[in-house]
Amino acid sequence: MFILKSSPLILLILFSAVHHLKAEESVSAWDLVKNKEGIKVYTRTLANSNYKEFKGVMTLEAKLDALLKFINNAEHCPDWQYKCLKMLTLSDGYLYKLSNLPWPLSDRYTVMQSQGNFDQKQNSYTLSLKNIPRNQLPQHILQQLPAELDTVQMRTSDGYWHFQLNHTAEILITHQMHGDPAGSLPANLANLGVTNAAYVTLSKLREQLSGK
């Protein structure tokens, strides 16, 4: 009889496989929650979070360089990003973004580290965004931030912009984000704005970039 002896390597492989399966099971499938005027918005639930993740998708006839120039211009933020009050471009790829919340809630801000990458094989560009807690920021970034006053930093605000190029003039745009606003904002209230965050942002982006 052949007996399979356990080894640290086999146990590690088995543990990794089980962990991966559990992680996949804890993330729900995408639900299409809005499909209007060429913009599709999906949401899903993530493990260990009461706040939903969104994904917005649309096509836009534009040039990639013009699109990136507009998106990376912090002054434009209030014109198209949902609830954006202002954005500041910091050094080393960091961005500060302040978003409006209705009274009596405090406005929320993020300090995101952005990183762009063009994949030549896939002919696509991805702009990754990750919120860095204030107490983990480098000193020279802290010195560039406005005073917190009565604002609250979001616990998480992570995601990306993905621009898929093809042989036509249209670019397939995917914007995906997951945020945890921290503080006393209830999850059910925050989740009501998730769909609007995706739809309004993409809709206003299209308005701003049409014909450019």
Taking Cα atoms as reference points, which of 208, 40, 205, 34 lies closest to residue 127?
Answer: 205
Distance of alpha carbon 28 from alpha carbon 42, whole angstroms: 11
What tens digit of pLDDT does each residue of 179-205 get? 999 977 778 878 888 999 999 999 999
Q: What pLDDT is attached to residue 167?
A: 86
Q: What pLDDT is attached to residue 143?
A: 98
pTM greater than the 0.95 cutoff: no
| Confidence at 3, pLDDT banded by 50, 70, 90 | very low
Q: What pLDDT is attached to residue 18?
A: 41
Q: What pLDDT is attached to residue 12?
A: 44
Q: What pLDDT is attached to residue 10?
A: 47
Segment 64-83 mean pLDDT? 96
What tens digit of pLDDT does each residue of 130-179 get? 999 999 999 999 999 999 999 999 999 999 999 999 988 899 999 999 99
Distance of alpha carbon 83 from alpha carbon 67, whole angstroms: 20
Segment 100-105 mean pLDDT? 90
**Mean pLDDT, the chain, whole residue set:** 88
Transcribe 2-60 into DSSP letters.
--PPP-HHHHHHHHHHHHHHHHHHTSPPPEEEEEETTEEEEEE--TT-SSPEEEEEEEE
Tokens coding 142:
């802290």
Distance of alpha carbon 97 from alpha carbon 80, whole angstroms: 13
What percent of the chain stands above pLDDT 70?
87
